[in-house]
Structure 1
Amino acid sequence: MNKTITIATRESALALWQSRFVAELIETQTDHVTQLLPMTTEGDQRLEVSLNKIGGKGLFLKELEQAMLAGQADIAVHSMKDVPADLPSEFQICAVFERADESDAWVSNQFPQLADLPAGAVVGTSSLRRQAQLLSLRPDLKVEPLRGNVNTRLQKLDDGHYDAIILASAGLLRLGFDERIKSRLTAPQWLPAVAQGAVGVECRADRPDLAALLAPLSDQRTWQCVRAERALNQRLGGSCSVAIGALAMQLADDSLVLRAGVFAPDGSRHITARQQGYDPEKLGAVVAEDLQAQGAAAILAMAG
């Protein structure tokens, strides 16, 4: 294997932070050196349209995957919440690192908590999951689209376009915006995106050498939880076109508890399920079956 590992990454500040974090792990724990290949993806370019209308979060991966297939890059680093439930057969996830704060962050310059917002206030998010949960709690609010990198979204809030916005806590913490988090939206009352807060590495399926090199760098507790959440998401046909939240946690006896919910985009309906087990994939499937038995298909169809 070449001693230099080229890492394909998006060009945003958060993506570069994540890739540099992975690069440092590789260089300190293996005998390889790294170099970054920053790229702009279609998902980064088409900010005028919601992701669910133009192909989903996979648009953040396509160019990076093409670079790997072309031999320009060896691996790609992603926020695992951006990785589709159905990964193309040419690729594999070869490492997932310790999860950061998985919660959603409530960010506002005037209102410290969701309950403080007056009726009719404007909240910015382009996530159907966040929109659905927000409206289920506060149907009196107005949700407006908000896309762009973290800095762009914060600037739009500061410019007065929104009364509050919702972002991933992990991204704000990684970029040093701790003080912008006024409060956290947490489970079980509020469910994060599948694999939120976890960073992972993707490589080609025909690169067992890379998979073997990187696997020991994985955080096994996080990887078990992410596998359970992704198994649930896959069984439900999850994408950014539907509103699904999930969070798995590992207990002292090494079993996993998985909570998940399916939400109507307008907040009018939602169902939740919770199960415990040891096998991540089986647990994800069991929770998905529970949600399906409660009518998940009809709720998910409301996003169509």
Structure 2
Amino acid sequence: MTTYLVGSRASNLAKAQVREYLGSLRERFPGVTFTHRVILESGDKDRKSRLSDVPATNRGSAFSSEQEAALSRGDVDVVVHSLKDLPTASPPGLTLLPPPGREDVRDALCGSTLSGLRNGARVGTGAPRRIAQFLAVRPDLELVPIRGNVPPRLKKIEALGLDAVVLAVAGLRRLGLDDAIGELLPLDLFPPSPGQGALGIQVREDSTELREILSTVGDEAVHAQVRAERALLAELHGGCSVPVGAYAQTEPGGFLSLFAQVTSPDGTRRVSGTLSGPVGAPETLGATLAEELIDRGALSILDGCDRRHTAAGCSRPTRS
């Protein structure tokens, strides 16, 4: 019997994602054993610092570096990520496979509805994108930085005296916490992180047999969507702490529609756009829409990029 080691973060959500992914694989391949292995990330070890202050290694993020390093070393055979946590470029020798479908891409307000928030209400979120988007819609709000896994963030409503917190619908549903949702936030005002709701299935490029097995549960339509979103983020040099939201949808006739928005950190400026293109060329679609956003003024927002990220290798786009 062949055994493969599957790595993930230690959170309950990460474990739920692994169970979701392995469920269909075990049904299809009863002669293959998949064993789960937890890998601690720097972002999980340090839950007090601002995320931008948490160090990451090996070109990855605070929520993917150690897993990618373990995969490269051969300590595990495949890693199941939340795709939105992954940098847009994989380390040499690693590649992403088509995700097995996708959960709801939207963000949710938990504890209240948007219209139900009082003037000056305190809303918890540590994500620059969410902070910027809320300030654009409700500049009266006080955005309180919070970090942690999903259940602890929900508990901070009471613990910190918050009126609400913002969380991804996908994480809430995968943990069976649908009842905590006060409102599903509209995509036109609150576009999600590129890749939100999808799993990032990462393997070594030379794992031929394993890639064949895992490809049987991959969804090519979702793969095209997230490739377009991540291509846009890469073109905008999204490693910078610039709030970028994007989501793609498959359309009839073999087309893909991509919407994206860049919001200034204080919420006073928004640049957005929509573009459609062939489903077979998602990277071209993402890069083209990114260029259009730059033409419409996104470059001046990108100029406000956090210089600590610039020093780490993120440079803003230039125009010829």
Flag whether TM exceeds 0.5 (same fold).
yes
The 5 A counterparts of 1:57-76 are 58-76=61-79
**Amino acid corresponding to residue 110 of structure 2 in structure 1:** V
Task: Tell me the CA shift for residue 210 of structure 1.
Answer: 2.2
| 2:10 alignment partner in structure 1 | 11
Task: Tell me the CA shift for residue 189 of structure 1.
Answer: 2.4
- 2:98, 2:220 within 8 Å by CA — same for their partners in 1? no
Distance 2:54 2:159 in 1: 27
| 1:79 alignment partner in structure 2 | 82
Structure with larger RCO (C-alpha < 8 A, sep 6+): 1
Q: 2:293 aligns with which of 285, 291, 294?
A: 291
User: What is the TM-score with the length of structure 2 in the denominator?
Assistant: 0.90
Distance 1:4 1:14 in 2: 24
| 2:141 alignment partner in structure 1 | 141
Q: 1:92 aligns with which of 60, 72, 95?
A: 95
Cα offsets for 1:156-211 (capped at 9, x unmatched): 11324311100000100110111100111121222011011011210112323322
Distance 2:277 2:55 in 1: 33
Which is worse superposed, 80-89 or 152-161? 152-161
Relative to structure 1, the CA distance from residue 236 to residue 55 in structure 2 (aligned partners, 3 Å threshold; closer, same or farther) is: farther
Cα offsets for 1:3-50 (capped at 9, x unmatched): 111001111000000011112222112342100001221011121122
Percent identical pairs in the alignment equals: 37
**Amino acid corresponding to residue 294 of structure 2 in structure 1:** Q
| 2:179 alignment partner in structure 1 | 179
Structure 2 unaligned residues grouped into runs of 5+: 307-320
| 1:131 alignment partner in structure 2 | 131
Matched residue SS, 2:222:
helix
- 1:6, 1:34 within 8 Å by CA — same for their partners in 2? yes
- 1:128, 1:241 within 8 Å by CA — same for their partners in 2? yes
Structure 1 unaligned residues grouped into runs of 5+: none
Distance 2:305 2:190 in 1: 19
| 1:222 alignment partner in structure 2 | 222
Distance 1:251 1:84 in 2: 27
Q: Does 2:252 align with 1:249?
A: no
- 1:132, 1:264 within 8 Å by CA — same for their partners in 2? yes
User: What is the TM-score with the length of structure 1 in the denominator?
Assistant: 0.94
Task: Tell me the CA shift for residue 120 of structure 1.
Answer: 1.5
Distance 2:184 2:53 in 1: 28
RMSD, matched Cα: 1.5
Which is worse superposed, 214-223 or 170-179? 214-223
- 2:43, 2:51 within 8 Å by CA — same for their partners in 1? yes
Distance 2:287 2:105 in 1: 22
Distance 2:240 2:162 in 1: 22
Matched residue SS, 2:238:
coil
- 2:225, 2:250 within 8 Å by CA — same for their partners in 1? yes
**Amino acid corresponding to residue 165 of structure 1 in structure 2:** V
- 1:101, 1:170 within 8 Å by CA — same for their partners in 2? yes
Distance 2:302 2:116 in 1: 30
| 1:239 alignment partner in structure 2 | 239
Task: Tell me the CA shift for residue 240 of structure 1.
Answer: 6.3
**Amino acid corresponding to residue 82 of structure 2 in structure 1:** S
Task: Tell me the CA shift for residue 295 of structure 1.
Answer: 1.9
